[in-house]
Chain A
Amino acid sequence: MKIRLLILAAIYAMILVARPSFAQSNIPVKEKRAYSIEELLLLIEKDYALSYQDQLIPFQKKINLSARNYTVSELLSRICRGNKLKFQIEDRQIYLSPRNEKASYVRNTLSTLKGTITNASNGEVIIGASISISASKGVTTNGYGFYSISLPKGSYDIMISHTAYETQTIKVTMGRNQTLNLGLTEKIDKLPEVVVQGRQTRENITGVIPGVNTLNYRNKGDIPYFLGEVDVLQSSLLLPGINNLGEDSNGINIRGGSASQNLILLDEAVIFNSSHVYGLISVFNPESVNDVEIFKGSMPARYGGRTASVINIRQREGNDKAFNVAGGIGLVAGRLTVEGPIVKEKASFLVSARRSLLDLSNITSFDPERADFLDLNFKVNYRFNERNKLFLSGYFGNDRNENGLDQFRKWGNRTMTLRWNHVINSRLFMNTSAIFSEYTYRVTNEREAGSFQGTSRIINNDLKTDFSYYLAKNQLVNFGAGINVIKSNPGDRLPLPESGATNPVTLDTEVAVLPYIYGEQEGRFGKFQYNVGLRLTSFHNIGPEDVLIYEGEDRTIDTIIDTVAYRTGEISQSYYGIEPRAFLGYQFNNSTAIKLSYARNYQYLHLISNTLTPSPTDIWKISDTYIKPTISDQISLGLYKNLRDNEIEASAEVYYRGSNNVIEYRDNADLLLNENVETEILFGTGRAYGLELFVKKSSGNLTGWISYTLSRSETRVSNANEALSINNGEYFPNNFDQTHQFSTTGIYTLSRRLSVSANFIFATGKPTTLPSAKYELGGIVVPHFTERNRDRLPTYHRLDVSLKLNGRANKIKKNGKVRKNQDYWTLSIYNVYSRKNVFSFLFRQSEDNPDITEVVPFSVLDNIIPSITYNFRF
């Protein structure tokens, strides 16, 4: 089985890679004579983009050449030889730079060039565009499209590039501080639907943070379709190190961490529940998403708060030049986005809505129940002047699930972010944000003895300032501070109607204040690049609060001996965290790099849930006297190689993450509206480690990637008191452990209008607990279990296929005008060969013969699910 897998993987890899190799152009030299360097550069510029500093090139120097074809490298070597120059070729761009950078460094005046890089057609900022002087000197634009670079006096060819846009070269004379704002045009290749990828390709080598995956949503062709949508979280499941607990599970698991250990940010606001009902579709409407960055455990000091990852999602801002209406309608959902300028090229807005159409429960194997959802995104931005820009963005989501006759569940995230970008001087950029984020759920039960309505809410308010200070010599210092205020109403249960027979029960509100400060410095020296940072966090639980005192470690209702009451505003518990972050990379050459990282993270907010998969009605609890923050330490080492001029990126990364104060639960823990949750919680340690292999091809007719992860994720809960141990205090695989995971995505462009994509996932089954015996009690047969997670579910594999048909572009209508509507159809089929992937086992007495007890596999999505969507934009 495993050998078969390896052969298949090898075949597939060879197919992806087996294409004629890209050859350097041959430059024909017609006559045998002496050529001036100026002539030769002109000859080379016919096929390549050249970048050099005028004062370094001896233009009139002559070189003797024969009449034959020369490769461009040969010509460049001749030019550089004896002139203290060196050259580098990347794609079709050539950099000429001094062989010894120090020699040419003029130690007098440095002036700064700064600006914002945007998309020329709609004004959206371009994140991660590269502004470079030479192969080793340059900066990239930050999350707001801003860059700043300091150079000595002189004239330079500045190259602004991003692999999704046409490169531009601008000649700039430095001597005083100046601003250069530029709009880049989106790349149109001979086949307009040819897939191009975002900035990740070069950052595979030049970026210093390992384990970051970037998904670019601007070009919808490069992410596979799922149920008619490109989905942020579903597509991340195809990346190495990321999986989930199967269908009907909320959230994703990164490197063996639980879903609540991922910090999910939408324009800096925390999203507490990232999935709609059944976990198939995330709450992020792809129409409103600009960029998604996933940091798998090693994140720079400006991020923190959860132990497994940061998923940073940035919304689009809205076209500031013209109005656009786009949308789509399919079997699963319909969406509509309207964007446009408020004041042309100064202010714009974007409003996007998405609603489920088909009752989602129809595609699962559950009994029919109603399930629907709604997402609303909006963003408004206003650029006052060159130095100031204001953004207001928000999200409103709602999910509704009706289960059986009388039970309703409703839940949703609500966020609002107000941000002010201010350029303080040409080197100092600041962003201040005020953020509000809320998650609520409500359960209405009209059925059982005493109908009631239960509500729970958590609010996270954030006020923060972040600075980016661009130093000379490619160094960047990011620093900032903020304060986070969390308020949680863990639950109340009120009779419905108010006069009903049940008594109201309300759990105490909890409030915590978390101030933090951080600083990080990023830079390069020689072939090394580094990012070193420190984040200092603290946590304070603010009264009023009653803290129970228990006798000994075994906390139960029977061991309470005292209560300490804290008044309003009094601090009942504080924790402090020192979180160092360090990243070091070494670039062997332009296409090979090795990166090492270390990060420590404190998590002060925990999702309390002992169910197999997190449910939208689980409770977020802040740390307190008994629930200490979870702390994780992760180190990783990776080797990165780009092949064939950055057309292919490959990486191999190993990681190890150890965690302390990991929350586990006693058997049969009763968490429902429990005022003293600490009586049901046990604390353990966790360890997760693995190897991730990744190969990605981003241009040409066939693009896609292959990923393989070999990993383990374990927990240990050990205590001298057996009642406080699990599995005899030994390490056992936790619910997110998945030994092998292989996934591959391929997108093939057949023609200008048609492209086809497929993804295939193959993974070891998750751990499960099978019975070791059975017995009878009260006439009911009961399975008996000993150790937890000792067994495994059967392997999971699934193939999805989708087709994308673009509408006829540039069609001339009857009145002679060009048709403006860009539309396309997608057809996607989930689980093409209808594999009944096992979600769990059920233990039932056989209906035919009650003496036989069966183990019955249970699947959630056990069928092929087709979906068609029509999308338009005009």
Chain B
Amino acid sequence: MRSVIALILSLSILASCQDELAPELEERVNLLVVDGWIYNTPGPQTIKVSRSVPFENVQNIAPVNGATVILRSASLEDTRLSETESGVYQTATDFQGSVGQSYQLEIRLGDGSVYLSDFQMLRPVPEILSLSMEIDANNVDDPELLPVQFFPVAVVKDSAELEDFYRWKIAQNDEFFNDPEDILLLTDRFINGNLFRNEFKEYLFVEGDIVHIRLESMTPDAHNFLRFFRRQTTDLGTSGGTNPGTLRGNIRNRDDDNEVVLGFFGASAVSTFQQAVVE
């Protein structure tokens, strides 16, 4: 009996050890971050240039000012962007990308370093043929307590040309859903050439809301990047998650191939559909 008591006492001493659950993070790196995407809709087209910050920082972004940002088309036509806000560089309002054209981004910093992106082709995008609202079955039981909720269904026909990559963006009353879980990617691997229904069951609207659906095209590189980006911001730490890695983009230091540059420069064609929800 005394052995049992001794055991319980010793184990309770052990159990009372409080562990520091918050890990210590050190700041080790300070990298250039380029966030830019151009569309075939009227501008202005926006590129943001910033630097990474220590993880505990209250500010998430350290904007880079005074950089020279140039948008180059494959026919070597250069357009220079102007810094309209701290770290935000924009084209003229009437500038838009053209389908079939390839674009490259060039950034020159104050210290003389030059960064170049890969050329990104602005690929065509199919039309959104229709948008309908369907009743969310879960809420039908108690129609008096909650207003009836709907989710959007968009119909699209994929082009038979293999290897199309898309991204959906959804807005409710002019505000886009923009959490990591809202990065909705689609490849045509399983639907190539088909007429295809997309049900967005996670997005619920009520009567009177304005639903805005946007379909963007992209290159395979862009899709790969966004897929990794989505994984690292949603799956990490779950048992279905993978080991995290460095999220390299498509921008490189012209004189130093080893420098890690974060972010991505992409080009998309856009098709949209908007409607108000009526019962």
Interface residues of A (CB under 8 A from B): 1, 4-5, 8, 11-12, 15-16, 18, 248-249, 405-406, 447-450, 452, 493, 501-503, 505, 610-613, 615, 665, 667-670, 702, 722, 735, 746, 748, 756, 758, 760, 762, 769-786, 788-789, 791, 794-795, 797, 799, 833, 835, 838-843, 849, 851-853, 855, 857-858, 860
Contacts and interface: CB of A to CB of B under 8 A. Distances in A.
A10 to B, nearest CB: 10
A822 B27 CA distance: 64
8 contacts: A4-B14, A12-B10, A15-B3, A493-B190, A772-B25, A772-B28, A777-B35, A794-B23
B228 A450 contact: no
Contacts of B86: none
Contact of B28 (A615, A773, A838): A773
A248 B241 CA distance: 12
B243 A612 contact: yes
Given A502-B190, A794-B19, A781 B241 contact: no
Interface stretch (B70-78, B109-117, B232-240): B232-240
Interface string B160-201: 000000000000000000111000001001111011111101
Given A4-B17, A612-B239, A835-B15, 6 more contacts: A8-B14, A773-B53, A774-B60, A782-B229, A853-B60, A855-B25
B79 to A, nearest CB: 22
B97 interface: no
B231 interface: yes
Given A735-B243, A778-B35, A773 B30 contact: yes
Interface residues of B, number: 75
A856 B136 CA distance: 33
B208 to A, nearest CB: 26
Contacts of B244: 769, 771, 783, 785, 788
A849 B23 CA distance: 20
A799 B11 contact: yes
B237 A667 contact: no
Given A667-B245, A784-B246, A791 B60 contact: no
Contacts of B31: 773, 775, 784
Given A503-B190, A785-B244, A248 B239 contact: yes
A670 B227 CA distance: 9
Given A613-B239, A794-B19, A668 B58 contact: no
A780 B233 contact: yes
A334 B51 CA distance: 58
Nearest to A771: B55
Contact of A447 (B6, B201, B231): B201
Nearest to A787: B246
A259 to B, nearest CB: 13
Contacts of B242: 610-612, 665, 668-669
B179 A794 contact: no
Interface in B7-31: 7, 10-11, 13-15, 17, 19-23, 25-31
A308 B199 CA distance: 46
B233 to A, nearest CB: 6
Given A780-B178, A840-B237, A773 B54 contact: yes
Nearest to A668: B228
B185 to A, nearest CB: 11
Nearest to A799: B11
Nearest to A449: B198
B57 interface: yes
A185 B25 CA distance: 62
Interface string B36-61: 00000000000000111111111111
Nearest to A855: B23
Contacts of A735: 243
A789 B196 CA distance: 42
Interface of B: 3-4, 6-7, 10-11, 13-15, 17, 19-23, 25-31, 33, 35, 50-61, 138, 178-180, 186, 189-192, 194-199, 201, 224, 227-229, 231-233, 236-247, 258, 262-264
Contact of B238 (A448, A769, A840, A855): A840
Contacts of A762: 14
Contact of B190 (A505, A668, A779, A851): A505
A406 B136 CA distance: 13
A769 B196 contact: no
A611 B239 contact: yes
Nearest to B182: A780
Chain B interface mostly: loop
Given A668-B228, A785-B245, A12 B29 contact: no
Nearest to A784: B52
A602 to B, nearest CB: 26
Nearest to B138: A405
Given A780-B178, A784-B246, A770 B60 contact: no
A773 B55 contact: yes
Contact of B243 (A610, A786, A858): A610
A788 B179 CA distance: 26
Contacts of B189: 505
Contacts of A615: 239-240
B262 A852 contact: no
B269 to A, nearest CB: 18
A773 B240 contact: no
A772 to B, nearest CB: 4
Nearest to B63: A776
9 closest A-B pairs (Cβ-Cβ)? A667-B245, A840-B237, A668-B228, A449-B198, A773-B52, A775-B52, A842-B237, A15-B3, A502-B190
B89 to A, nearest CB: 15
Contacts of B198: 449
A840 to B, nearest CB: 4
A495 to B, nearest CB: 8
B236 A842 contact: yes
Given A791-B23, A843-B236, A449 B246 contact: no
A222 to B, nearest CB: 18
Given A615-B239, A786-B28, A853-B55, A449 B19 contact: no
Contacts of B19: 794-795
Nearest to A788: B243
Contact of B196 (A1, A450, A493, A851): A450
Nearest to A245: B239
A758 B194 CA distance: 60
Contact of B233 (A782, A789, A833): A782
A775 B246 CA distance: 13
A776 B60 contact: yes
A748 B198 CA distance: 61
Contact of A503 (B26, B192, B227): B192
A15 B55 contact: no
A797 B245 CA distance: 29
A257 B241 CA distance: 20
B262 A784 contact: yes
Given A12-B10, A776-B33, A778-B178, A840 B241 contact: yes
Given A11-B6, A612-B242, A785-B244, A668 B52 contact: no
Given A774-B60, A784-B31, A855-B23, A12 B262 contact: no
A668 B224 contact: yes
A667 B246 contact: yes
B23 A770 contact: yes
Contacts of B26: 772
A452 B227 CA distance: 21
Contacts of A835: 15
B17 A452 contact: no
B263 A777 contact: yes
A449 B232 contact: no
A509 B190 CA distance: 19
B10 A774 contact: no
Contacts of B57: 774
Given A15-B6, A449-B197, A776 B236 contact: no
Given A776-B60, A840-B237, A783 B23 contact: no
Contacts of A771: 25, 55, 244
Nearest to B193: A503
